[in-house]
Each structure stands twice: as C-alpha cells, then as structure tokens.
Amino acid sequence: MTWPFSWRGFRPRVPANDRIARLRKLLDRANTDYSRDFPEVTLQALPATAPPKRLPRLELQPFRCPLPSSARIALLEGGFLPDRDVREFAIADMAGLQNYAPEVLVLPLGIALSLADQKERGLVKLPSLSTAVVVLTSLGDSPLEDHHRELLWKAFRVPIFEQLLGWDGAIIARECEVHDGLHIEETAAILHLQGEELLATQLTTFTEPIVRARTGLAGEIATAHCECGAETPRLRNLTALRANVTAAATGRR
C-alpha cells in the first residue's frame, strides 16, 4: 500500500555513550559480570529470560509526533506529559474529545480499531482529524498488522503510525514517515533476535532489571540506512508468535 505522505529530514544517530552508560547501570543492578569496555558483547551472550511479572511504571514522558506539526493532539492513553497542544481524554469522554477537535489521535490498537468501527457506522464523527493516527502497541501484545492499517486508513483517511511501548510504558520504537519499520530508541531499549523471537533489554527501568526478556514477537531488525535520514536500527514485520504467546508469559516453551 502506498501512503499519501512523505517528509524527509536528517536525524542523527543516538550517541552510543548514552546507551552504554545505561546498559552498564542495568547490568550492575542485575548483578551480572561483564566487560566494562564491551558490555553489549556480554549482553548478547546472556540467556533469554521471562518477561516481567510485575510491570514497572515509567515517569510521564513527552509525546513525539511522527510528523513535524503543531497540530492538536488527543491522547487516549496515559503515561504522557500534557502540553499546550497535547491533551489526554478518557475513552468514555467522546463529547469532550470531539469538542477538542483533535488533528492527531494517539491511542492503543484495540481502542483505535473500535473507534474506526464506530466511525464507519456513523456513531462517531471526527472531522478535525487531518494529520495522523498514532497507534500504540506493546511488547508481549499484538503488533499493528497490515489488515489493521487498511481498516484504520479506510475509517480515518490519514497516515497511520505505530509506536511500540516497553513493559514500563516507555516508547522504545517509533515508525517514521517512510513507513519502513520502527526506529529503535537506542537509549530506551536494546533488541536482539534469538531464533525468530525478539528479546528486549530495557534501558529505562533499573529497579527491576529487564534483561533479554522474551516478547512472544517475531520480526526482523534492519540496519540499512532509512530514507528518512535516520541511521538507527529498525524493527520490521513484527508478528505475534501465536504458539508461544503463553510460553512468553511464563518464560517456558
């Protein structure tokens, strides 16, 4: 499918030192022996672990719109800082949402699909929505798939973007305007593939270290230069390992 919007700009790679400092701190908290000079080598040699049983919570984070704009942004998910052009709404407050006249919607996949269905049936009208829909997905849950994009595009007629949350609610990967994968936030997470399964090490939570935890997701990690100008690795073709969803939740195969 060809998306009707493209913008290209330069985005520098996240400084490696920031990521390494966070990784060292994480491995220290996890009581792991590692090389101070090459902590990432040690990380890749560690075994996979179970995902966290108790989900840590991150402090409120700013929301970064995938498109350069000053649009009014409506959040139907918590965990983000309010701003002049960013406001949070409960899903039950549809009257308030429509009165706000958002140009960008930010919401979890399930709510996005439900809202799209309501809009298609004429139960919800959002004529102000003109810039983007940002779908929030999370580790251990269903990713945004092509048929979801088709449904959302049909309902809203604006570009659809995915942003991936870690277990603590931090954004760990963002889709850019090229729509060729999700750029990994390198100071938020380190992602590896073990076989076909994605393993996640989170660099945003240290009280309960999450090191090479199983996600129940398959995919690929692309390192080639992106046409948006960013050089960060990208997650592509994320799918749920349906046979292993229960195993990922328990840490067993």
What's the chain's Rg over C-alpha atoms?
19
Determine what percent of the chain is predicted with pLDDT higher than 90: 71
pLDDT for res 76: 95
Higher pLDDT, 9 or 177: 177
Residue 10 has pLDDT above 70, yes or no: no
The pTM assigned to this predicted structure is 0.87
Contacts 24+ apart (CB under 8 A), 39-45: 40/190, 43/190, 43/192, 43/201, 43/211, 43/212, 44/192
Taking only the tens place, the pLDDT of each residue in 190-212 is: 999 999 999 999 999 888 899 99
Q: In what order do the strands lie in the sheet with 132-138?
A: 86-88, 73-75, 104-108, 132-138, 160-165, 171-175, 182-184, 234-240, 213-222, 197-202, 189-194
Q: What is the mean pLDDT of the chain?
A: 87
Taking only the tens place, the pLDDT of each residue in 128-142 is: 999 999 999 999 788
Taking only the tens place, the pLDDT of each residue in 81-138 is: 888 889 999 989 999 999 999 999 999 999 999 999 999 999 999 999 999 999 999 9
